[in-house]
Chains A and B, each alone.
Chain A
Amino acid sequence: MTAAATTHDEYHDHGPAKGFMRWIVTTNHKDIGTLYLVFALVMFFVGGIMAMVIRMELFEPGMQFVDPQFFNSMTTMHALVMVFGAVMPAFAGLANWMIPMMIGAPDMALPRLNNMSFWVLVFAVLLLASTLFMEGGAPAAGWTLYPPLVLQGGNNLPFAVFSVHLLGVSSILASINIIVTILNMRAPGMTMMKMPLFCWTWLITAFLLIAVLPVFAAAVTMLLTDAHFGTSFFDAAGGGDPVLYQHLFWFFGHPEVYIIVLPAFGVVSTVIPTFSRKPLFGYSSMVYATASIAFLSMIVWAHHQFTVGMPLAGELYFMYATMLIAVPTGVKVLNWTATMWKGSLTFETPMLFAVAFVVLFTFGGFTGVMLSLAPADFQYHDSYFVVAHFHYTLVVGGTFPVFAAVYYWLPKWTGHMYNEKLGQLHFWLTLFSFNLTFLVQHFLGLAGMPRRIPDYAIQFADFNMISSIGAFILGASQLLFLYIVVQTIRGGEKATDEVWEDAAKHGLEWTLPSPPPYHTFATAPEIK
């Protein structure tokens, strides 16, 4: 199994290609990891600017800055850019950097495929972004691209569809690479049940991606043929059904939530033990819980559509199945709490983000249980309550663990310690402004404010203003993150190999120098 890795006697260490071409042609997992992370950060700011436009328009009642159509493009593109451009690539970047170092492999199993996954992603996102400059504007039917509305989009529809196809290709290739790497490239003695949990969560996520992305690709292709080739998959006049699209979309869309959040669970399960100075509590139940969540995520999709007029049996089935997800998720939260219990805790920036993730994600889980109750969902659905809920799960799930991971491994990657004071300031600003932005949105939704509206009734004015102020602080705080990262790359206090106290107990990567050489584990380490 690891014969290839151990027989590299004639191995010559060579550095990266010189100059700019290094980044175009690289097949090195660390370089590609960096590319993914930098791309994710850029897209995080692009999607963030869109969020700023949305919150600016919603700052007070009346239309001040943008037209309703452009507002709809902003909500649509904000979601697509954040999900496909920022969060997923960020986790792919972490996977590229860390999985080989965690399992003692010299690189990813399929390095050229790895390069291709990244560059396909870049062009996919550029294709999508190009619609912003088209006559008629970018897609404005929501990131869910529901027909018949999305079919009114004109020229932007084919661009969005082809972009989704390419995003799918990129993610599937990356998933194949991760699966092959984890199954074949582990160092001798690194059994499956000894792998760091981050590898486990990514392995399961990769299978999930391969299972659901083709369905999404098929659904958008059907949109394309409905719009341009005379089919009527989603048009009742031709025997189709608009709701069919929703079933197909959410068969992908709900697992997508876990595609984002499972690797986040992996990061948090790595960070919390290190700063608790204890092993992770219930490792095997964490693995089983991750697998159960992945399975359940594929059989609950229609809870996004309780109001489309499903038969009673359908409503009840999807309600019960959805409620079940609370069980394995609860196990995870309790295991993290038990990991901290009787530990010897310190709160450096990665730990702060990890603990905030556990608290806020659990809060998002509570509103998730509320939303799972079909009759109550008839009130919550498509209101700001839902917006608040999914930002508590996806912003907290998609960015807090990435911040935790970056602060945790940045000293390893660069060989420099980041500025701890600034890191903690970044954390507190983010935590405060995040809650200021999204907590009040629960109240707005319960009071009757629908989502995706560019203007609102007067009774919603105060909370919207608070939310907008929170969003502006949240946006500005991320510039501090950019500053900290750039500062750390450029220099700073020299990091030790272990970086964190006794970190070597918590992963192979801490046995390597900081920064690690261009090629690591050319000879596989022996795991006891």
Chain B
Amino acid sequence: MKKTKPLLTALAMLVLGMSAAQAEYALNLPTGVTQISREVYDLHMTVIWICVGIGVVVFGAMFYSIYHHRKSRGAVAAQFHESTKVEIVWTVIPFIILISMAIPATKAMIDMDDTSNADLSIKVTGYQWKWRYEYLDEGIDFMSNLDPLSNAARQKGSTIKPERVLHYLRNVDRPLVVPVNKKIRFLFTAADVIHSWWVPELGWKKDTIPGFITEAWTKIEKPGVYRGQCAELCGKDHGFMPIVVVAKTEEEYAQWVAEQKGEAAAKVEAAGKTWTQDDLIATGEKVYNSNCASCHQANGEGVPGTFPAIAGSPVVTGPIERHIEVVLKGGGSMMPPFADTLDAVDLAAVISFQRNAFGNNIGDAVQPSDIRSRLASSR
């Protein structure tokens, strides 16, 4: 009776979980949308049932003993204390069970490891705290950040209730778009610290390691939106770098690729024209909020001792040359170089914004074309 408590607790939790499952709460691994994710799911379920079987036998014997061999029921202790035969049996049986698990596990591992013959390759780079996706064959290259609404709601003291945000913390400004039924090879790396790219519906996660490339592959079988997030602790905003994969049919994917190329051309044009200061500052505020505010704070005050303030900063209020250099190349041990992750328009806009916000009334601005020529000469 006494030892049934954990079991009862477990059952109560299971029942509770089952009713919750109907309300979209997952209790188990997703079966997923790839051959690998199904293999992993099947392996997972096989092992669970083997464990349940072992549990029933071992705990069954223990609970039988707890009930029947109690002193209060008049049990008298036997004095046996070894049996080589029995001990050999229960050393050999686990061996056999383990081999039965190792066979499907080895097969799944070999399948997972085979990244050959991919139809397209995507390079994924982890940054503190966003992802960069480069389509190596298409020349498409963009950053993927936490969506602005989640970002506002997750601030301490925010008045936006997380419950009211659609896909709270699991939504991005630009998702990774991929075609279905194509073998996609991912090349992972990181710019600063180790991250880990995890979308449960694909069946795996992979660490992204600065200075190294790790590989994985997927072949998504069903169009849809699949969400995940960074799985390796990567600093302050580790919990706020989600991953969204949108799997499209081949035609829709081709259309999307064409759109991206059009947008890229428009961006180049935008960087060439001369911007008014007001336009720069307006654009810069958005760039600031999604790229700078997590450290320097939305009010520009920074965090004393950790992240310097933008308001009244000697760099921001000093000569613009130095300001541009810090933003492009990074500074201190924490600030990353933004030359790789923002385009010329965004860089010019955010620098112009910082020089004219939070009480920094410098009044000057920098044009995207200046930044572009500077980037070109430094490469």
- How far, in angstroms, from A278 to B237 measured CA to CA in the complex? 55
The 0/1 profile, CB within 8 Å of A marked 1, for residues 3-40 of chain B is 10110011001001100100011111110000010011
- Whether the Cβ atoms of B76 and A344 lie closer than 8 Å is yes
**CB of A497 closer than 8 Å to a CB of B:** no
Nearest residue (CB) in A for B192 is A148
- Whether the Cβ atoms of B153 and A62 lie closer than 8 Å is yes
- How far, in angstroms, from A331 to B83 measured CA to CA in the complex? 13
**CB of A378 closer than 8 Å to a CB of B:** yes
Given the known A-B contacts A308-B207, A435-B10, are A283 and B3 also in contact in the complex, defined by CB atoms under 8 Å? no
Of the residues A69, A137, A337, contact of B61 by C-beta under 8 Å: A337
| Nearest CB in chain A: distance from B228 CB, A | 7
Place the interface of chain A in its size category.
Answer: 35 or more
> Which chain B residues lie closer than 8 Å to A276 at the CB level?
69, 77
Q: Is the interface of A mostly helix, strand, loop or mixed?
A: helix
- Whether the Cβ atoms of A242 and B209 lie closer than 8 Å is yes
Nearest residue (CB) in A for B114 is A312
- Whether the Cβ atoms of A68 and B237 lie closer than 8 Å is yes
Given the known A-B contacts A308-B214, A344-B71, A345-B75, are A149 and B3 also in contact in the complex, defined by CB atoms under 8 Å? no
| Nearest CB in chain A: distance from B216 CB, A | 9
- Whether the Cβ atoms of A370 and B81 lie closer than 8 Å is no
**CB of A376 closer than 8 Å to a CB of B:** yes
- Whether the Cβ atoms of A345 and B69 lie closer than 8 Å is yes
Of the residues A278, A327, A436, A453, contact of B239 by C-beta under 8 Å: A453
**CB of B155 closer than 8 Å to a CB of A:** yes
**CB of A191 closer than 8 Å to a CB of B:** no
- Whether the Cβ atoms of B168 and A283 lie closer than 8 Å is no
Within 8 A of A (CB), among B203-242: 203-207, 209-212, 214-215, 228-240
Given the known A-B contacts A61-B162, A237-B211, A285-B87, are A456 and B239 also in contact in the complex, defined by CB atoms under 8 Å? yes
**CB of A141 closer than 8 Å to a CB of B:** yes
| Nearest CB in chain A: distance from B86 CB, A | 7
> Which chain A residues lie closer than 8 Å to B101 at the CB level?
323, 369, 373
- How far, in angstroms, from A362 to B163 measured CA to CA in the complex? 38
**CB of A443 closer than 8 Å to a CB of B:** yes
- How far, in angstroms, from A382 to B333 measured CA to CA in the complex? 26
- Whether the Cβ atoms of B109 and A374 lie closer than 8 Å is yes
**CB of A526 closer than 8 Å to a CB of B:** no
Given the known A-B contacts A323-B98, A352-B2, are A382 and B235 also in contact in the complex, defined by CB atoms under 8 Å? no
Most buried by A among B83, B109, B154, B334: B109
**CB of B43 closer than 8 Å to a CB of A:** yes
| Nearest CB in chain A: distance from B215 CB, A | 7
Within 8 A of A (CB), among B44-74: 44, 47-48, 51, 54-55, 58-59, 61-62, 65-66, 69-72
- Whether the Cβ atoms of A370 and B51 lie closer than 8 Å is yes
- Whether the Cβ atoms of B194 and A278 lie closer than 8 Å is no
The 0/1 profile, CB within 8 Å of A marked 1, for residues 114-127 of chain B is 00000000000000
The 0/1 profile, CB within 8 Å of B marked 1, for residues 357-381 of chain A is 0111011001001100111101101
Within 8 A of B (CB), among A126-156: 135-137, 140-142, 146, 148-149, 151-152, 154
Given the known A-B contacts A149-B194, A435-B6, A448-B200, are A279 and B79 also in contact in the complex, defined by CB atoms under 8 Å? yes
- How far, in angstroms, from A439 to B327 measured CA to CA in the complex? 47
> Which chain B residues lie closer than 8 Å to A446 at the CB level?
26-29
Of the residues A66, A323, A346, A457, contact of B170 by C-beta under 8 Å: A457
| Nearest CB in chain B: distance from A308 CB, A | 5
The 0/1 profile, CB within 8 Å of A marked 1, for residues 76-112 of chain B is 1111111100110011001100100110011011101
- Whether the Cβ atoms of B5 and A432 lie closer than 8 Å is yes
Within 8 A of B (CB), among A444-494: 446-448, 450-459, 462-463, 466
Most buried by B among A352, A435, A448: A448
> Which chain A residues lie closer than 8 Å to B231 at the CB level?
381-383, 450-451
Interface residues of B (CB under 8 A from A): 2-3, 5-6, 9-10, 13, 16-17, 20, 24-30, 36, 39-40, 43-44, 47-48, 51, 54-55, 58-59, 61-62, 65-66, 69-72, 75-83, 86-87, 90-91, 94-95, 98, 101-102, 105-106, 108-110, 112-113, 153-156, 158, 161-163, 167-170, 188, 192-194, 196, 198, 200, 203-207, 209-212, 214-215, 228-240, 304-306, 333-334
5 cross-chain pairs, A with B, having the tightest CB-CB distances, nearest first = A236-B211, A453-B239, A309-B214, A447-B26, A378-B204
Q: Show 25 residue pairs from A and B whose CB-CB distance is below 8 angstroms, ordered by the A residue.
A: A62-B158, A63-B154, A63-B155, A68-B240, A72-B236, A148-B210, A154-B333, A307-B196, A319-B102, A324-B98, A327-B94, A338-B86, A340-B69, A342-B75, A344-B69, A344-B77, A355-B62, A359-B59, A375-B105, A381-B205, A382-B196, A382-B198, A435-B10, A458-B168, A463-B25
7 further A-B pairs in the complex, CB-CB below 8 A; given A369-B51, A383-B231 = A279-B79, A285-B82, A346-B72, A347-B70, A374-B109, A443-B17, A458-B168
